[in-house]
């Protein structure tokens, strides 16, 4: 699986999972996964995943946001 954030070792599937669970803004996604909080070079990819790959999931979750702390990485 593709690594999105090299600084934090965050994989694409972890980002997608966070989006499905309600992290539908860049700030929420960064907070939920830890991605984008090092050098920031993954921010464009995070935006792309938010707006192009999982947009339909976000529309649902924006109406029903989840609560809680950072997500744990999923296992391979």
Name the residue ranges covered by the structural domains of the chain.
Answer: 3-63
Average pLDDT for the chain: 79
Looking at residue 31, its pLDDT comes to 96
What is the spatial distance between Cα 5 and Cα 12, in angstroms, rounded to a whole number?
9
Distance CA 64, CA 75 (A): 26
Buried b (16+ CB within 10 A) or exposed e, 54-68: beebbeebeeeeeee
pLDDT in tens, 54-72: 555 565 443 333 444 444 4
Residues 6+ apart with CB under 8 A from 65: 22, 24
CATH class, range 3-63: mainly alpha
């Amino acid at each position: 699986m593709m690594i999105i954030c090299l600084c934090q070792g965050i994989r694409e599937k972890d980002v997608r999972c966070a989006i499905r669970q309600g992290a539908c803004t860049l700030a929420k996604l960064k907070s939920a996964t830890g991605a984008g909080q090092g050098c920031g070079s993954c921010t464009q990819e995070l935006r792309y995943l938010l707006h192009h790959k999982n947009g339909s999931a976000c529309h649902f979750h924006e109406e029903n946001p989840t609560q809680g702390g950072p997500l744990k990485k999923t296992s391979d």
